[in-house]
Amino acid sequence: MAETIAGDVDYAVRGVGYSRHRRPDPRIEAMIHAALGDARTVLNVGAGAGSYEPRDRLVAAIEPSDAMRRQRPPSLAPAINARAEALPLDDASVDAAMAILTVHQWQDRSAGLRQLLRVTRGPIVIMAFDGEAMHRFWLAEYAPEMIEASRRRDGPVAELQAALSPPGRRAEVRPVPIPIDCTDGFTEAFYARPERFLDPEVTMAQSTWAFVAADAMERFRRTLAADLASGAWDERYGAHRTMPEFIGSLTLVVSVPG
């Protein structure tokens, strides 16, 4: 089947090694599942290969990319080919909804969030990067183009919180601590393992690099490799190598009725 590009990147190209490099992290998973409360039916929008999908509840998964749907393990429900902006579900038909590291890719984020509010009776749990907090990461010094692209793409998490707090609901933002050995290879997951950025497969599984020009990417790799070899990175940022966790831009936005 031809690949549908519903977001802002082509997962037929960037999604191929996704499930190998983006394995759900159990500590982050525990936070997401706790936020879903006692929901029995859960909608997972932008479900990808199924990371963080609960195994002990009834799940409906929505995923527009064929390459991502094909990476779902057979133990999970097949995902429906649809987009957040037009959810094929009735009003108030699921107990809870989750959208994990996906809203930054939606073509019409407001429409997608309105759809989540329409179909969900209980908690809506969004995991997203706060575009306003990206600069806390040391990568800002080495790849400012990447941080700027993230800032533009992700936007302020306060906007998500406002959109998910219509009358009759309240939403809160919870920082998600990133463990030093995080198994989900998003950018900040490697705060203590800078060498990993030198592996092209690792950056291929981090979609924001698609918005960084080839010459900037090349300069980033060259400079980081040189600083790692000379010890300059460790002199400035070496303390990160033993920090048990990093509070960066990763957040959960949790909207509940009330």
Ligand X SMILES: C[S@@+](CC[C@H](N)C(=O)[O-])C[C@H]1O[C@@H](n2cnc3c(N)ncnc32)[C@H](O)[C@@H]1O
* Of the residues 33, 35, 65, 134, which one makes contact with ligand X according to CB under 6 A: 65
251 DSSP β-pair partners:
128, 175
**C-beta of 118: minimal distance to ligand X in Å?**
15
The C-alpha atoms of residue 237 and residue 99 are separated, in whole angstroms, by 33
Comparing C-alpha atoms, which of 103, 151, 149, 95 is closest to residue 126? 103
Phi, psi of 216 (to 5 degrees): -70, -40
CA end-to-end span of the chain: 43
Could you tell me how many residues of this chain bind ligand X (CB under 6 A)? 25
The contact mask relative to ligand X for 233-252 (x = CB under 6 A, - = no) is --------------------
Query: Which residues make Cβ contacts (< 8 Å) with residue 15, sequence separation at least 6?
Result: 48, 65, 67, 68, 71
Phi, psi of 134 (to 5 degrees): -60, -35
Considering the rule CB under 6 A, would residue 68 count as an interface residue with ligand X?
A: yes
Tokens of 72: 């779902």
Considering the rule CB under 6 A, would residue 107 count as an interface residue with ligand X?
A: yes
Residues in 189-208 that interact with ligand X by CB under 6 A? 207
**Are the C-beta atoms of residues 45 and 112 closer than 8 Å to each other?**
yes
The contact mask relative to ligand X for 121-160 (x = CB under 6 A, - = no) is ----------------------------------------
**C-beta of 189: minimal distance to ligand X in Å?**
12
Residues in 9-48 that interact with ligand X by CB under 6 A? 11, 22, 45-48
> Which of 84/143 has CB closer to ligand X?
84
* Of the residues 101, 139, 163, 189, which one makes contact with ligand X according to CB under 6 A: 101
> Which of 207/255 has CB closer to ligand X?
207
Integer-rounded Cα Rg, in Å, for the chain is: 18
* Of the residues 102, 150, 251, 255, which one makes contact with ligand X according to CB under 6 A: 102
Query: Which residues make Cβ contacts (< 8 Å) with residue 43, sequence separation at least 6?
Result: 59, 60, 61, 62, 87, 89, 94, 96, 97, 98, 116, 119, 120
Residue in this structure with the two tokens 């009358």, named with its chain if needed: 167
Considering the rule CB under 6 A, would residue 7 count as an interface residue with ligand X?
A: yes
* Of the residues 36, 43, 60, 84, which one makes contact with ligand X according to CB under 6 A: 84
Please report, as ranges, the residues that interact with ligand X according to CB under 6 A. Answer: 6-7, 11, 22, 45-48, 51-52, 62-65, 68, 83-85, 100-102, 105-107, 207
